Amino acid sequence: MNMKHICIPLLALTMGTTSCRKYVEVKQPNQREFIYVADYQRLLNNVGLFETSVSLPTLSADDIDLGANASLERLLTNELKNIYTWAADYYTSDQSDAGWDQLYNQIYVCNQITANVMTSDGPDVQKRSAYAEAQAQRAAAYLSLVNLYARVYNASTAATDPGLPLLLKPDLFVPLNRASVKQVYDQIIQDITQALPLLPDVPSNNLHPGKAAGYGLLARTYLYMQRYNEAADNAAKALGLQSTLLDLNDYATGGKKYPRRLDNPEVVLNKKSIKAGNINLPLSTELLNKFTPDDLRYSLFTRNGSTFQPAFAGRGSYRDQLFANDGILSGLSVPEMMLTAAEGLARGGKTSDAMTLVNNLRMKRFAPAAFVALTASSAADALRIVLDERRRELFGTGLRWFDQRRLSVEAGMAETETRVFAGVTYTLQPGDRYVYPIPPKNIELNPELTQNQR
């Protein structure tokens, strides 16, 4: 028997007191020895750790508009107000950023697994499987981080644009110098491509990445890099493994209960927002105007503001209420893959193929008598339709913010956003405000961790 014993804390890890001498605060009590591959698999089974993802992009995106509702304005803490108004700074030096903490916690545990599982006791096939899953989860965490705290990928500047601390070993005593954006994306792609052959065709449940999730992560990665052909190719591969769509007609009358995320066949990789509170805010008029009254997503996934507490004018997102306290999906889904593939096809001039995917999705979002196939007069028209469909299908998930980011650097797509808070008008111009600030608490403890220019 291999008697190499690895001690890993069982309690939660926090990034709250990050420093160059200790980048993760590890609570020491209740340690146990990790000897067997099953011990490492239990780490990957930690739903509370790996199921959760960031929530603040929902508040930053133009899906949400508080309008002039004073009762809703009072709900926002100072840091949430800062995020909603795209302020220069979000947190004070004594506040932690829950999204940063959570994602680096995931990375730390993944690094423990990749560093040690291959020397644990147990079948080699199980070791390789756990290693691959840890790589995929690490890639997912870094993909979220680099699209929050670094500039939009630009092939001409990515090698010098500051990215993130790229931590690949379970070492608590490392400096937090930022790798370049290119290095972070290269690592994401390397992790996923190495993991893919060892990921299962069908995972035990959607909390664990299978091959469809691997291809889906690559599709999302290439989409954010504006490598649209590769995004479409990988989205198609994901759909070749998982393509089930829910027919919203089955749920529109209330006769059938909408499935929770764990049981939803559309979910490719199950992630939810850390907090769901900010999704119960008013949806913007701009978003709501993109729906027609007979769109079942409008009637099923939104509700009149009078049904929320506190009440407000307009409509709010109801996705998280369809299955009580289930939270909002921010992970990968079949509809996202269909629309990613459609966008790549439209950008590649394959107008008919792009519209086929869009209409195949929409057929499940309207009653048969109300469905009318959309048509595009050109590739540019198809692209506009696809992007509008992404807004209708993916609203309230936080993915809109990442779309706004990548489109903000594209000629003809960049928009100037405005919103009013407490009587003051705030403006978001294309530029560096699409990059979240590094938590100042972390910078204070790690002087080598430079702040984003905003």
Structural domains of the chain, ranges and CATH numbers in brackets: 6-249+329-445 (1.25.40.390)
Q: Is the pLDDT of residue 4 over 80?
A: no
Query: Tell me, what's the pLDDT at 323?
Result: 64
Query: Tell me, what's the pLDDT at 328?
Result: 82
Higher-confidence residue of 253 and 240: namely: 240
Query: Tell me, what's the pLDDT at 279?
Result: 53
Three-state secondary-structure class, residue 141: helix
Residue 51 φ then ψ, to 5° = -75, -25
Residues 30-61 have pLDDT tens digits of: 445 789 999 999 999 999 999 999 889 999 99
Mean pLDDT across the chain = 90
Q: Is the pLDDT of residue 19 over 70?
A: no
How many helices (H) does the chain have, and how many strands (E)? 18, 12
Residues 193-244 have pLDDT tens digits of: 999 999 999 999 999 999 999 999 999 999 999 999 999 999 999 999 999 9
Query: Tell me, what's the pLDDT at 332?
Result: 98
- pTM for the whole thing? 0.93
Task: Characterize 428-449 residue by residue with b for buried, 16 or more Cβ atoms within 10 angstroms of its Cβ, and e for exposed.
Answer: bebeebbbbbbbbbbbebbeeb
CA distance linking residue 264 with residue 235, whole number of Å: 19
Query: Tell me, what's the pLDDT at 86?
Result: 97
Residues 98-107 have pLDDT tens digits of: 999 999 999 9
The token pair at 5 is 């014993």
**Average pLDDT of 84-96?**
94
Confidence tier at 14 by pLDDT (50, 70, 90)? very low
Percent of the chain with pLDDT over 70: 91
